[in-house]
A and B are shown apart, each in its own frame.
Chain A
Amino acid sequence: NAGVTQTPKFRVLKTGQSMTLLCAQDMNHEYMYWYRQDPGMGLRLIHYSVGEGTTAKGEVPDGYNVSRLKKQNFLLGLESAAPSQTSVYFCASSLPSGRLYNEQFFGPGTRLTVL
Chain B
Amino acid sequence: QQQVKQSPQSLIVQKGGISIINCAYENTAFDYFPWYQQFPGKGPALLIAIRPDVSEKKEGRFTISFNKSAKQFSLHIMDSQPGDSATYFCAASTGAGGTSYGKLTFGQGTILTVHP
Identify the A interface with B (CB < 8 A). 4, 31, 33, 40-45, 48, 50, 56, 58, 90, 92, 94, 97-109
> Which of chain A's residues have a CB closer than 8 A to the CB of B95?
100-101
Interface mask (B19-58 → A, CB under 8 Å = 1, otherwise 0) = 0000000000000101010000111111001010000000
Query: Does B14 lie at the interface of the complex (its beta carbon under 8 Å from any beta carbon of A)?
Result: no
* A to B CB contacts below 8 Å, 28 in the list: A31-B96, A31-B101, A31-B102, A40-B9, A40-B108, A42-B6, A42-B89, A42-B107, A42-B109, A43-B44, A43-B106, A45-B104, A50-B101, A90-B43, A90-B44, A92-B43, A94-B96, A97-B96, A100-B95, A101-B32, A101-B95, A101-B96, A102-B96, A104-B46, A105-B45, A106-B45, A107-B43, A108-B41
CA distance A101 to B103 in the complex (A): 10
Majority DSSP secondary structure for residues of A touching B: strand
**Inter-subunit contact A106/B43 (CB<8 Å):** yes
Interfacial residues of chain B within 78-116, with CB under 8 A of chain A in the complex: 89, 93, 95-97, 101-104, 106-109
Q: Is the interface of B mostly helix, strand, loop or mixed?
A: loop
Q: How far is the CA of A64 from the CA of B76 in the complex (A)?
A: 37
**What is the chain B residue whose CB lies nearest that of A100?**
B95
Contact B108 A42 (CB under 8 A): yes
- 20 additional A-B pairs beyond A107-B43, A109-B42, beta carbons within 8 Å, are A4-B43, A31-B96, A31-B101, A40-B108, A41-B108, A42-B4, A42-B6, A42-B107, A45-B103, A97-B96, A97-B101, A100-B96, A101-B102, A103-B46, A104-B102, A106-B36, A106-B44, A108-B41, A109-B41, A109-B43
Cα–Cα, bound, A31→B103 (Å): 10
Q: How far is the CA of A14 from the CA of B111 in the complex (A)?
A: 31
> Given A4-B43, A42-B109, are A104 and B104 neighbors across the interface (CB < 8 Å)?
yes
Query: B9 → chain A, closest Cβ, in Å?
Result: 7
Contact with B49, one of A31, A99, A101 (Cβ below 8 angstroms): A101
Cβ–Cβ < 8 Å partners of B102 in chain A = 31, 94, 101-102, 104
Closest to B49 in A: A101
